Structure 1
Amino acid sequence: MIEINADAEAIIKRAILSFVATVNDDGTPNLSPKASLTVRNGVLYFADIASPATIRNLKRKPAVEINVIDIFERRGYRFKGHASILPPGDDEYSMIADWVRSTNGPEYPVDHVVRIETLSISPLLSPAHVFAEPARTQDEIRNTYYQKYGVKRIGE
């Protein structure tokens, strides 16, 4: 298993929303947005709050890919791995379920917690990083996308 590094963890925290891909029975992709992706002790987890198809797919075939992008920095990571579904009562389940409920409210159901054995991690970079001439700094890219999205930094 590959441990999640500090930069990837920071992007997960900032991005909030990630996308989890699994494979349906008929071989078609299932893409599910997650706001519960988190890292604990170098390991990726997400909560099953309302994802019956994702859980059904992972029970049948535990292959998973997760993409997370910081929309302002225009970069992120692709994680590929093997999922384990943790039931209520499991210590890791409790750790993540408690975090979800403390973050979102006690009414949030956490049917399962999914632990990812990360097998590969690849950086994702937008063309803003790759093709800009002259090359732009991360601050320049971030400020460009704050402007495009009409976002102001807190305190500005």
Structure 2
Amino acid sequence: MIEINADVEIIIKQAMLSFVATVNEDGTPNLSPKASLTVRDGALYFADIASPRTIENLKRNPAVEINVVDIFQRRGYRFKGRASVLPSNHNEFSMIADWVRATNGPEYPVDHVVRIETTLITPLLSPAHVFADPHRSQEEIKNTYYHKYGVKFVGP
């Protein structure tokens, strides 16, 4: 498993939404949004709250790809790996399910927890990084996109 560094973890927390790609039985792609992607003890996890097709696909074929991009920083990461659907009596299942409920409320169902064994992590950069002024700071990029989307930053 490839190590998940601090920057990857920060992007996952800030982006708040990721997209998980699996393979349907007929070979076509299935893309599912996830707001539950998290890092615990150096591993990637997500909860199945309402994604039965994703779970069916992973039980049949554990190949998975996940993309997470912070829309304001215009950067993120792509993860490739193999997924394991954890049994409900597994300690890691409880750890993630408890976190989801603490974050979102006790009414959130956690039907499954998926642990990803990452085999490849690659950075994703938008053209704002690739083609724009190379001396433009990350802060300038963020401020540009806050303005573009009409967002006023109120965080720490």
Fold similarity call, TM over 0.5: yes
| Residues 1:12 and 2:47 aligned together | no
Q: 1:135: Cα distance to partner?
A: 3.6
Deviations 1:40-78 (A, max 9, x none): 011000001000000000000000000000000000000
Q: What TM-score do the two structures reach when normalised by structure 1? A: 0.97
Partner of 2:26: 26
Show the counterpart of 1:49: 49
Amino acid at match of 2:145: Y
State the partner residue of 1:113: 113
Relative to structure 1, is the Cα distance of residues 140 and 95 closer, same or farther in structure 2, using a 3 angstrom cutoff? same
> Which 4+ stretches in 1 moved above 3 angstroms?
none
Tell me if structure 2 keeps the 8 A contact 1:20–1:66.
yes
Partner of 1:122: 122
2:11 alignment partner, SS class: helix
Gaps of 5+ in 2: none
Shift of 1:28: 0.6
Equivalenced residue count is 156
Question: Structure 2: how far apart are the matches of 1:3 and 1:40?
Answer: 12
Identity %, equivalent residues: 80
Distance 2:141 2:122 in 1: 20
Instruction: Read off the aligned partner of 1:92 and give its amino acid letter.
Output: E
In structure 1, list runs of 5 or more residues that go unmatched: none
Cα deviations by residue, 1:62-102 (Å, 9 ceiling, x for unpaired): 00000000000000000000000002111000000000000
User: Could you tell me the TM-score, scaled by structure 2's length?
Assistant: 0.97
What does 1:90-101 correspond to in 2, within 5 Å? 90-101=90-101
The Cα of 1:136 is off from its aligned counterpart by 1.4
CA distance in 1 between partners of 2:68 and 2:122 (Å): 11
1:62 corresponds to: 62
Return the alpha-carbon distance in structure 2 between the equivalents of residues 133 and 59 of structure 1: 45
Report what 1:36 is aligned to: 36
- Cα RMSD, aligned residues only: 1.2
**2:93 maps to 1:81:** no
Distance 1:134 1:102, change over 3 A: closer
Structure 1 position 134, deviation (Å): 5.0
Letter paired with 1:67: N
